[in-house]
Amino acid sequence: MEEHILFNNGADMRFVKKIFITLLIISSISFAQKVHPNLLLTKHDVNTIKENLNKYKLFSKSFIEEKKAIDEATLNPIDVPVPKDAGGGYTHEKHKQNYNEMYIAGIMYQVTGDEKYAVFIKKMLDKYADLYPTLKTHPEAKIESGGRLFWQTLNETVWLTHTIQAYDCIYDWLIPSDREKYEKNIFVPMARFFMEECKEEFNRIHNHGTWTVTAVGLTGLVLGKDEYVKKALYGTNLDSQGGFIAQLDQLFSPDGYYTEGGYYVRYALWPFFIFAEALANNLPELKIYDYRNQIMKKAFYSALQMTYSNGAFMPINDALKEKTWLSPEIIMGVNFVYERYGQDKQLLSIAKQHNKVTLTGAGLLVAKDFQETHEIPNFEWKSVKFSDGGDGKQGGIGIFRYGNIDDMQTLLFKCTSHGLSHGHYDKLHFLFYDQGEEIIQDYGAARFINIVQKFGGRYLPENKSFALQTIAHNTLVVDEKSHFNGKQEVSEKFHPEIYLFDASNPDFQYMSAFDTDAYPGVKMQRTMILVNDENLYRPVIIDIFKVISETEHQYDLPFYYMGHFISANFKYNSFTTEKKLLGKKNGYQHLWKEAEGNPTEGFIFTWWNKQRFYSIISSADSTAKIIFTRIGGSDPNFNLRNEPGIIIRKNAKNYTFATVIEPHGVFDPILEYTRDSYSTIQKISIIYDTEDYSIIKITGRKGINWTLMLCNKNSDMNKEHTVESNGIVYQWKGPIFLQK
């Protein structure tokens, strides 16, 4: 059978006409399960769990906790309400609770054999079998694709993903007429709804699409519907324009980076692992865990690297800062990656923090090895660069780290593609962590998830009007307009080009990238360096942001710092009795102007956070303006966090922002002790700057006298360079050199 399919050959992804071996496989076999259950929990798993139920403490604890909760649930009246509420409302939360309880009850029935759990599921399915055929589009369906049980189809696919597993667990216990009723009234019409009425969502290369194909694929496996499984794998037209394989090909770069960012990879990995595990158990011929050079493994480890040392996902794009690797999606990922990819003992350190495992064979293995491994190594966060895009050629992201787990510095430099519908307009943006928390922040998303009073728990209007706009990020804004004029369809066509990356020397880690598309006629290049020196408390960030244009523009470079302002070495005018908005649109309408001033010759801005001080040392002179700003303007419903920032503003054609960010000193309020509240570095100046070369001078106390030499166009590490300025000759080798 010949098909046009999306075929992956290493990093080169392209459409070719091939006889794909897996299509031959799926055309000749039936997907009907020979035994039940056989999705995440298999009959073999059940027998192994029964034999070892009380042997491993972590598994026993997890089992007992879930059993206690579901035992209480079986004593309560079953409520399957008519859908009415959006996220956070009673009916929304009740249907979520129902699918979770059915899922756990199915496992309990399989392991204990107690029919009360099967009866519980049956009674609930009876009510859904009566309700579901009567439902039309949810009354709260608004922005997203509308569901029936839930306000968006995403929640409905999660419901089906869990409920079909519960059904699988009691399949053999049910009489045929009950199975026929549930399949006729619930599972088949719901799957058809996703495949036919939500075809665009089904084929969408996006985490919503992943959930949809997973729900339909699992349903096909349990019901023996070959068509469902084929469409789940290869899209509704079986042409690999959509479906699970296309998701694996296009959402992840060859090294595993997920294009929507670290926050959403956490959520997306959940259905990826659910469907992959079900496919591995039912269609081992597909070798799904080996696909694309084990892309599932790479995706999971890249997700872990997208966390800070406190386990929080670094909040680029639409992201909620409260999410950490303690979430249930990562519990599942740890368990299945551990089982399927060689039992990496580092993962046991994360399982220790979880203090919980999945009630599967993989969870039992993790619990066993956790108990029997005497020395468990910590997870190793690394300095790393990830490429973006299915072909690995759509920019990327750089992460620099320094220090141990207890006090780690982390600098993230974002040079990725847009990130689909959850992307932000933030080319060449960065964020910085220290002391276990954000020091220079990414705002993340404007959303109060599942809080019904806040827009039904959905993304707030301020997410679009502020959080995704360029001014909400630590990157350049030209003429108060967002990158690509805030148009997603344009932004998705372009990406930055990574010029340099090297993290081999922990004392001198650097990355540089270009963007020539965010603003027509404006070329941006940002070089970020993490430098350690024995004369400093901690490594400093050197940030060189170069802008080239043939016409004059207003350039704004924000830094959203976390902490309390301490001092600035220039005079500024504070607006203490009346505040004005910074602008009228593109996010500026949400910023208050609290103060402004002009530096004389460079400036130092210092703030305090926890036990350290932080300073921004800039080359900006009196022709620039420094604006003190605070988020929260034009916000009548108080949806935005009121957090501070400073903006360096300059009107120019060509301009280079040269900045050092220095952590320094000690503050102990208990002992009333302060040391080195002033920065060690006192000045950064540009002594030579052309399109080809930049020479930067950095001086300060304790003998700091550095010269940074940059070649802005040639990345050849062996190329020798010579620049003369003011009678001084600078010579170096390679694109970047720091002379101390």
Instruction: Quote the CA–CA distance of 197 and 201 in Å, as a whole number.
Output: 9
Mapped onto helix, strand or coil, the DSSP state of residue 401 is strand
Helix (H, G, I), strand (E, B) or coil at 708: strand
Q: Are 351 and 364 in contact (CB under 8 A)?
A: no
Catalytic site residue from 36, 162, 422, 553: 422
Q: Is 89 exposed, middle or buried (0-12, 13-18, 19+ CB in 10 A)?
A: middle
Q: What span, in angstroms and rounded, lies between the C-alpha atoms of 205 and 574?
A: 49
Measured from the Cβ of residue 601, the count of other Cβ atoms closer than 10 Å reads 11
Clarify whether 264 is annotated catalytic.
Answer: yes
Q: What stretch of H or E contains 501?
A: strand 497-502
The CA-based angle 392-393-397, given to 5 degrees, is: 75
Distances (CA, A) of 139 to 83, 128, 191, 269: 8, 18, 21, 30
Catalytic residue among 258, 264, 433, 693: 264
* Cβ 624 vs Cβ 645: under 8 Å: no
115-131 vs 153-170: helix crossing angle, rounded to 10: 140
DSSP secondary-structure letter at 379?
P
Peptide bond into 328 cis (omega under 30): no
Side-chain-side CA neighbours of 588 within 13 Å: the count stands at: 17
| Pairing, β 553-559 against β 477-478 | antiparallel
Q: Return the structure tokens found at 461.
A: 């209007």
Three-state DSSP at 394 gives: coil
| DSSP secondary structure of 446-472 | -B-TT-TTTGGGSB-HHIIIIITSGGG
**How many other CB atoms are found less than 10 A from the CB of residue 75?**
8
Nearest-angstrom CA–CA distance, 736 and 510: 9
Active site residues: 264, 422
